[in-house]
Structure 1
């Protein structure tokens, strides 16, 4: 499975890097590919290091203005002209999407992917990996959106909230019909 992971390029502390490293190892050991923003910094680097070390493939999709930060020696690297093209390319190369901790860029990616899914423009499973309760507030907001009629489909069909990488990968493999 090609698993697109949206996450931060910032250097973060162990409460985020340790679970990310564990999730990356599960992806690699499961024979899956990491499709990610291609950066060799921050949490993106932690994910790429872990997947590569565990034997998984790396598929990077960077953007022209960040090309100087790409990870060398990956299995496949694409450089897009802008962020919109990058998001489209990431989605096109993915069988599933996992949104990890991140800032405004990660939130932008997450909301666009969910909006496309809401409108039926893709049916790929989407997981919000709620490491250390990072997305508790967003989960509450989504629940309110559903409760007050802002979502045209049940929240459970739109996104799955996982508390750890093992839960995220188990959900994705179940959705793909892969026996764990």
Structure 2
């Protein structure tokens, strides 16, 4: 399975890197391919290292203004002209999406993927990996959107919130197997 992971390129503490490393190891050991933003920095590097060390493949999609930070030894690397093209290519190359901890770029990617799913522009499973409760507030906001009529589909049809990597991967594998 090609699993797109949206996540931070920032250097973060063990509260986030340890669970990310564990999740990456699970992906690699299961023989999955990581499809990611291609950066060889921060949490993106931690996950790419973990997947590669465990035997998984790396498919990166960088963007022109960040190409200098792209991972040199990825199995495949594409550099796009802009962020819109990058997001489209990340989605096209993946079977499933995982949203890990991140900043505004990660949030932008996540909300676009959910908006596209809301409008049936894709049917790929989406997991929000809620490491250390990072996305508790977002989950509350999404639930309010559903409760107050802003979402035409239930939140549960758009995304699955997982508290750990093993649960996230089990959900994705189950969803893909059911298709």
State the TM-score bracket (shorter-chain normalisation): over 0.9
Cα RMSD after superposing both structures: 0.7
Q: In the alignment, what sits opposite 2:54?
A: 54
Query: Aligned residue for 1:124?
Result: 124
Task: Give 1:53 shift.
Answer: 0.1
Q: Report matched runs for 1:32-47 at 5 Å.
A: 32-47=32-47
| Residue of structure 1 in register with 2:168 after alignment | 168
Deviations 1:44-76 (A, max 9, x none): 000000000000000000000000000011110
Unaligned 5+ residue runs, structure 2?
Answer: none
Distance 2:151 2:90 in 1: 24
| Aligned match of 1:65 | 65
Cα separation, 2, equivalents of 1:159 and 1:73: 32
Matches of 1:66 and 1:3, distance apart in 2: 21
Match of 1:157 in 2: 157
Cα shift readout 1:87-130 (whole Å, capped 9, x = no counterpart): 00000000000000000000000000000000000000000000
Cα distance in 2 between the residues matched to 1:8 and 1:74: 18
Structure 2 distance, partners of 1:67, 1:112, is 22
Gaps of 5+ in 1: none
Structure 1: which 4+ aligned runs deviate by more than 2 Å?
Answer: none
In the alignment, which residue of structure 1 is the partner of 2:105? Answer: 105
Q: How far apart, CA to CA, are the structure 1 residues paired with 2:73 and 2:92?
A: 22
Distance (whole Å) between structure 1 residues aligned to residue 36 and residue 25 of structure 2? 15
Tell me which residue corresponds to 1:145.
Answer: 145
Report the CA distance between 1:154 and its aligned residue: 1.0
